Amino acid sequence: MPALVTSAIVCALRSHGEHGAIARLLTPDHGLMAGYVRGGRSRAIRPVLLPGNAVKAEFRARTEDQLAGLTVEMAHSRAPLLAEPLAAAAIDWACALTAAALPEGTPYPALYQALDGVLGAVEAAPAARGWAVALIRYELLMLAELGFGLDLTRCAATGGGEDLAFVSPRSAAAVSRAAAMGYEDRLLPLPPFLIEGGSGEWAEILDGLRLTGFFLERSVLTERRADVLAARERLVDRLKRAVA
């Protein structure tokens, strides 16, 4: 098989053998791909394979069923962000979600662009107000791309599109303030920025994370709940402490 050379974002890394590692990268045209990196745990290569880094990747495999050999060159390092607790937690979660949720070999060009945008936002503004909304929108896009999208365009009860303020955990559809009256405690708050665009206040950002987190845990991360969601819990905990 011919080699595949592509740009990619490093999403996950695990040790394999004494010196090697298996890396999982998100590519623009081929989706999530895994490859064996010889010497991947070495002092020279390990910094290149940090989650969030942009790389030039070359995959080589004799057959489609064989795990490809992978070589990587750094295109853009985001390692300096790992010294910032909130930024590091955001990168850790966004990449862990991508690696855990997506099937290998299925193209998701919109997710590649969105993940690159989230990482760029974290890099441009390490303060969480500058990237938290982008992260929530990435999680919503992930749900939609995997077939679990939320309907935030109209009220599930009335069919109208006015004053949407909640989401039904059962139907994953929006509910207007009037239709929700008396049932608010059974519904998930819908942050205004997901309808109107723009940024959000801290309380709205936390509501947004609660909203997407509920559906990710229920529909996407069912088999790897404990280990993957731990990264999200660290992020949310750090956000709460930052705004307390």
Q: What is the pLDDT of residues 184-221, one digit of tens each?
A: 999 999 999 999 988 889 999 999 999 999 999 999 99
pLDDT at 110: 98
Residue pair 14/22 in contact by the 8 Å Cβ criterion:
yes
All CATH 1.20.1440 domain ranges in the chain, comma separated: 80-243
pLDDT above 90 (res 128): no
CA-based radius of gyration for the chain: 19
Distance, CA of 34 to CA of 70 (rounded, Å): 8
Superfamily of domain 4-77: Nucleic acid-binding proteins (2.40.50.140)
Domain at 80-243: CATH architecture: Up-down Bundle (1.20)
* Mean pLDDT of the region 231-235: 92
Sheet arrangement for strand 151-155: 151-155, 173-176, 164-167, 188-189
pLDDT above 70 (res 49): yes
Q: What is the pLDDT of residues 67-104, one digit of tens each?
A: 899 999 999 999 999 899 999 999 999 999 999 999 99
More confident residue, 161 or 113: 113
Expressed in percent and rounded to 5, the helix, strand and coil fractions of the chain are 45, 25, 35
pLDDT above 80 (res 17): no
More confident residue, 154 or 19: 154
pLDDT at 184: 94
Tokens matching residue 171 = 């139907």
pLDDT at 225: 65
pLDDT above 70 (res 2): yes
| Phi–psi pair at 81, nearest 5 degrees | -70, -20
Distance, CA of 101 to CA of 8 (rounded, Å): 17
All CATH 2.40.50.140 domain ranges in the chain, comma separated: 4-77
* Mean pLDDT of the region 213-235: 87
pLDDT at 163: 93
Model confidence band, residue 141 (pLDDT cutoffs 50, 70, 90): very high
Query: Which residue in this structure is represented by tokens 């229920």?
Result: 218
pLDDT at 126: 67
Global confidence as pTM:
0.93
Residue 205 C-beta-side C-alpha neighbours within 13 Å = 20
Question: Strand, coil or helix: what is 189?
Answer: strand
